[in-house]
């Protein structure tokens, strides 16, 4: 089959698609944007997967180091390892965009893989990956209702930018990724700097127009490459089975859902009813009552009930109004010894966040396809099974990484700069009890913990999860602070996080085909009202960051030294700096511009390390009075150690204001003496004087010395009046020049 190529200008750059060239057995599509190229494939199993009440879709986004011309890894392992957090987040973007376009009744395992084959360092691969995944599915035999497309909108210096480069995204006020089908939006991922809701709506409207162009472009390609879609078995119940559910089980199910019981009690009763449903339906319908079908019918019954009660009756599971929050509570200083802690509860959802402060060198290092970089603020989110009353293995997955990154993005905007607060900051949010909107509770608890730790954040931040119930006729209700079945059976999960000034982060995914911009505009306005209510509760617990750090937190002192002194501070093979660290217990970080961070657990440790550093790196100035130890003796003078690895010469003529015959007549090795800096020559050598030290010699001392030695020329070396008879006039300079250089 001959390869074909198509191109479209988007965001001022060409996006090209190449068909029928790669991966012929897996519907391969190559999408290039700039010099970034992504290969997308899609495959499906021949038979349905037994068990489970969900569609088994797997998405993988692969970053290859060769794409950027890099070899990475340890000396012993050069193969790519497990996906980076960034790759996992890109995977989730694709999954959340394409999943709503599948029939949820499908049970055939389906896999979509996007691989970054070339990376130019300018254009993010996520947009070509989305387009590639859409085209691969659309031209395949896999049942899928596409195409979809994605676009990135940035805002910088007041201007909206379509598909901004990495450089343009740096420092932008808005970084918004939007995807969806024609005329609708089904996925949003965004970071922002306290941007107003109206500006977000403006960016969404632009995104919708650009998505339209990409959809039309794909439709033209699909028309030339389409193949027939295969028919796959669906969890399709008979009319009799559906009616049996409605007549015999739905009233009892509705009573349980709206009973006012706590989550675990409600779920226990619902599970009992579902077990009864499966038993009786199996007895009644025999082989037609497969596990997948029975679970689908029960799921749809819950779905129908919560939609009907919300849209027609304006009713919610727990009796709240559509824009009403659950009961809120906020606490700080929950745990002893930690550097900061905050706990936030919203209904049955409870999050505890803990802050740990560390030295600048404890930043997290990343080695990815994009290159190496560091991160000084980290937010990690944990959602153990016990938070829902279940048994399960510990450890995070893609969901935990996604929720942690969302909360981190919401808090980044309010974090102090490195210059203001040089600490490495790690926040861990532990989900203790889960009943909806835990990621937004994590933002709130983390904000409380940061203020409790004394981190000077610019503003408290919080977040809220908004839901949607929409019927087939377009009637809908927007729900504030979704929980339980509203989350699982609702049509939208829109997470909005920010401060009183604006939005810092957005995330949305849907279970229907998509949402229009007007509906999103309404949801954003409703979310703002809720956000301000939560901030009021937070302010009652703690209104601003504490003025002092926790007594258990390390203290960082920042020094500035001459960059030329860095090698003296480090020493050969790190000998000097390691000696300081081992002796004082302090941690020392040095930057190329001469900035030195001293991190210590105690004041004494910090003071000792700082004093040591100052002695090593101090800039000695002419005229200074110093105290030093005599370290070496020569015929022409004495070397005096005036600081760590710093020596200066006291010439024999500078030892006393009278003739000195032998250096040892005045000083010996180990003597601690005061000296005055005469000058520093152009090679950095320090010339010292003992005789010029004020008060060192009295007139009586001078007179007595001269009386004891009446012949001023009796010494071996010349003084300032001339050379010793018979001696070389260059003797002093030759010996002086042989001293060690510094």
Annotated binding site: 487, 493
4: tokens are 């074909």
334 contacts 341 by C-beta, under 8 angstroms:
yes
Cα 558 from Cα 601, distance rounded (Å): 15
**In 3D, which of 180, 285, 272, 201 has the Cα closest to residue 243?**
285
C-alpha 58/C-alpha 110 separation (Å) is: 6
- Binding site per annotation, positions for Mg(2+): 487, 493
Helices 438-452 and 398-412 sit at what angle, rounded to 10 degrees? Answer: 50
Among residues 304, 300, 349, the alpha carbon closest in space to that of 329 is found at: 349
Tokens encoding 84:
């980076």
Dist CA 427 CA 461 (whole Å): 14
Contact at 8 Å (CB) between 599 and 564?
no
Residues belonging to the chain: 742
The SS3 assignment for 291 reads helix
d(CA 546, CA 548): 6
Q: What span, in angstroms and rounded, lies between the C-alpha atoms of 111 and 124? A: 22
Give the position of tokens 């997955």. 397
The H or E element spanning position 345 is: strand 340-346
Both tokens of 624, joined, read 């200074």
Indicate the helix (H) or strand (E) that contains 98: helix 85-98
Q: How many CA atoms lie within 13 A of 279 on its CB side?
A: 6
Q: Is the separation of the CB atoms in 237 and 293 below 8 Å? A: yes
- Extract the tokens encoding 45: 């199993």
Strands of the sheet with 503-510, listed across from one edge: 159-162, 149-156, 174-180, 187-195, 503-510, 492-498, 462-470, 476-480
From residue 333, give the alpha-carbon distance in Å to each of 340, 341, 352, 449, 554.
6, 5, 11, 8, 17
Ordered DSSP codes for 551-585: TTS-EEEEEE--GGGHHHHH-GGGHHHHHHHHHH-
Contacts of 400 (CB under 8 A, 6+ apart): 381, 382, 383
Instruction: Say if residue 699 is exposed, middle or buried (CB neighbours under 10 Å; 0-12, 13-18, 19+).
Output: exposed
Helix 85-98, helix 126-139: angle, nearest 10: 40
Torsion-angle region of 673 (φ positive above 0: left; ψ -120 to 50: alpha; else: beta) = beta
* Cα–Cα distance, 221 to 645 (Å, whole number): 73
* Residue 470, SS3 per DSSP: strand
Cα 7–Cα 10–Cα 13 angle in degrees, nearest 5? 80
Q: Which residue has the tokens 């808090």?
A: 411
Q: How far apart are CA 58 and CA 46, in angstroms?
A: 15
Numbers of helices and strands, H then E, in the chain: 17, 29
Two structure tokens written together for 413: 């905007």
Strand-pair partners of 598: 557, 588
Q: What is the DSSP string of 74-130?
A: -SS--S--SPPHHHHHHHHHHHHHHGGGS-TTB-EEEEEEEEEEE--SSS-THHHHH
């Amino acid at each position: 089959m001959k390869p074909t190529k198509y191109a479209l200008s988007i965001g001022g750059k060409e996006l090209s698609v190449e068909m029928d060239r790669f991966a012929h057995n897996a519907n391969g599509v190559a999408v290039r944007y700039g010099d970034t190229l992504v290969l997308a494939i899609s495959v499906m199993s021949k038979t349905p997967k037994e068990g489970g009440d969900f569609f088994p879709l797997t998405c993988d986004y692969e970053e290859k180091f060769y794409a950027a011309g890099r070899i990475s890894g340890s000396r012993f392992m050069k193969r790519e390892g497990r996906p980076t957090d960034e790759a996992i987040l890109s995977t989730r973007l694709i999954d959340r965009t394409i999943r709503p376009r599948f029939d949820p009744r499908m049970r055939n395992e389906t896999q979509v893989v996007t691989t970054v084959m070339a990376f130019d360092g300018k254009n993010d691969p996520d947009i070509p990956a989305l387009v590639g995944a859409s085209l691969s599915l659309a031209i395949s035999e896999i049942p899928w209702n596409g195409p979809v497309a994605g676009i990135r909108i940035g805002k910088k210096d007041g201007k909206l930018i379509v598909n901004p480069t990495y450089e343009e995204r740096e420092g932008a006020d808005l970084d918004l990724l939007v995807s969806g089908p024609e005329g609708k939006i089904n996925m949003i991922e965004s970071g922002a700097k306290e941007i107003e809701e109206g500006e977000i709506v403006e960016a969404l409207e632009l995104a919708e127009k650009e998505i339209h162009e990409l959809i039309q472009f794909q439709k033209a390609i699909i028309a030339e490459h389409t193949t027939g879609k295969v028919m796959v078995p669906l969890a399709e119940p008979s009319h009799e089975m559906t009616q049996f559910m409605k007549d015999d089980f739905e009233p009892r199910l509705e009573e349980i859902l709206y009973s006012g019981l706590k989550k675990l009690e409600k779920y226990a009763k619902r599970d009992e009813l579902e077990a009864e449903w499966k038993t009786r339906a199996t007895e009644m319908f025999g082989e037609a009552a497969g596990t997948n079908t029975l679970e689908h019918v029960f799921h749809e019954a819950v779905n129908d009930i919560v939609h009907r009660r919300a849209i027609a009756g304006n009713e919610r599971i727990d009796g709240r109004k559509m824009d009403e929050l659950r009961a809120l509570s906020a606490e700080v200083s929950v745990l002893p010894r930690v550097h900061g802690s905050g706990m936030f509860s919203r209904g049955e959802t409870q999050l505890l966040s803990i802050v740990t402060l560390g030295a600048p060198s404890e930043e997290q290092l990343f080695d990815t396809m994009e290159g190496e970089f560091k991160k000084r603020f980290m937010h990690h989110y944990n959602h153990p099974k016990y938070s829902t009353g279940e048994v399960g293995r510990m450890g995070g997955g893609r969901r935990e990484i996604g929720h942690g990154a969302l909360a981190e993005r919401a808090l980044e905007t309010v974090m102090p700069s490195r210059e203001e607060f040089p600490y490495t900051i790690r926040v861990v949010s532990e989900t203790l009890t889960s009943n909806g909107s835990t990621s937004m509770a994590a933002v709130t608890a983390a904000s409380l913990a940061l203020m409790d730790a004394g981190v000077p954040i610019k503003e408290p931040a919080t977040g809220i999860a908004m839901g949607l119930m929409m019927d087939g006729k377009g009637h809908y209700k927007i729900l504030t602070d979704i929980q339980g079945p509203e989350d699982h059976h609702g049509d939208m999960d829109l997470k909005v996080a920010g401060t009183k000034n604006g939005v810092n982060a957005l995330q949305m995914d849907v279970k229907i085909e998509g949402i229009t911009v007007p509906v999103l505009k309404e949801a954003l306005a409703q979310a703002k009202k809720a956000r301000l209510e939560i901030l009021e509760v937070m302010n009652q617990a703690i209104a601003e960051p504490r003025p002092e750090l926790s007594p258990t937190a390390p203290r960082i002192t920042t020094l500035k030294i001459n960059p030329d002194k860095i090698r003296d501070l480090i020493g050969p093979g790190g000998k000097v700096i390691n000696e300081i660290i081992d002796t004082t217990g302090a941690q020392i970080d040095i930057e190329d511009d001469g900035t030195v961070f001293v991190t210590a657990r105690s004041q004494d440790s910090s003071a000792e390390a700082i004093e040591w550093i100052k002695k090593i790196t101090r800039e000695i100035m002419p005229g200074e009075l110093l105290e030093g130890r005599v370290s070496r003796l020569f015929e022409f003078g004495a070397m005096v150690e005036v600081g760590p690895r710093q020596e200066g010469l006291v010439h024999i003529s500078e030892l006393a204001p009278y003739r000195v015959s032998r250096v040892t007549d005045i000083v010996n090795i180990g003597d601690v003496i005061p000296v005055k800096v005469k000058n520093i020559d152009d090679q950095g050598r320090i010339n010292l004087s003992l005789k010029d030290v004020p008060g060192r010699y009295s007139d009586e001392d001078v007179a007595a010395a001269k009386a004891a030695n009446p012949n001023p020329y009796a010494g071996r070396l010349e003084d300032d009046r001339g050379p010793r008879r018979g001696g070389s006039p260059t003797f002093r300079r030759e010996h002086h020049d042989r001293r060690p250089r510094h």
